[in-house]
Structure 1
Amino acid sequence: MNIKRYFLPFGFVLLTITGCSSKLEREFVNGCKAAGAQGSACKCLYKKLEKKYGEEGLKQRINNVDQSRSLQDAAIQASFQCAMGE
């Protein structure tokens, strides 16, 4: 019984922390950081692109080579906005 009381709050906190972002967002941010960018810039960039395309649209553009040019252009524009604090 004491074990349940200990692990239940811990599990809730862990679920709350990890449940805040989608798998796509975590993968995007991790890849962005691995490329040398700061985490806050990567999160901002993801949010801007997700706002523009939606999560499914962004996922399709990441996985579709034909649409990657438009995604690159949008990413450049979004990164400037993030740098300016917009």
Structure 2
Amino acid sequence: MRLALMTVIALIALTGCSDESSQIRGQFLSGCMQGGASKSICSCMFENLEKTYSPAEMKAFNNQYSTPSKQLVKDLMASAMACRQE
């Protein structure tokens, strides 16, 4: 749970890379790794979330004025657990 919340917080706080897709991925990976996960787990989590959420939804996670939904937190946790088992 802590990792997921740290990831969401970092997603909201960070800015970054060149094109929009790279920026979203870079923000996610940076925040996830700052939360204590390895790059491979963070990459796996991002790939899992991309299957569920559209690019617009992934971008909206970075909105500092929004609160992460319960579903997003649940999906982050499920993804983290699945990626740790791989």
Does the TM-score normalized on the shorter chain lie above 0.5? yes
Relative contact order: is structure 1 or structure 2 higher (C-alpha 8 Å, sep ≥ 6)? 2
Structure 2: runs of 5 or more not aligned: 1-17
Report the Cα distance in structure 2 between the residues aligned to 1:38 and 1:46, rounded to whole angstroms: 12
Query: So what's the TM-score if we normalise by structure 2?
Result: 0.64
Query: So what's the TM-score if we normalise by structure 1?
Result: 0.64
Report the Cα distance in structure 1 between the residues aligned to 2:22 and 2:77, rounded to whole angstroms: 22
RMSD of aligned alpha carbons: 2.1
Residue 73 of structure 1: aligned partner: 74
Cα displacement string for residues 16-54 of structure 1 (whole angstroms, at most 9, x for unaligned residues): xx88x6101001101111111101101111111111112
- Higher-Rg structure is 1
SS at match of 1:81: helix
Amino acid at match of 2:38: Q
Aligned length: 66
Structure number with higher helix proportion? 1
Amino acid at match of 1:70: Q
Structure 1: runs of 5 or more not aligned: 1-17
How big is the shift at 1:83?
1.6
Report the Cα distance in structure 1 between the residues aligned to 2:69 and 2:54, rounded to whole angstroms: 15
Q: How does 1:10-49 map to 2 (within 5 A)?
A: 22-49=22-49
Q: Which runs of 4+ in 1 moved over 6 A?
A: none
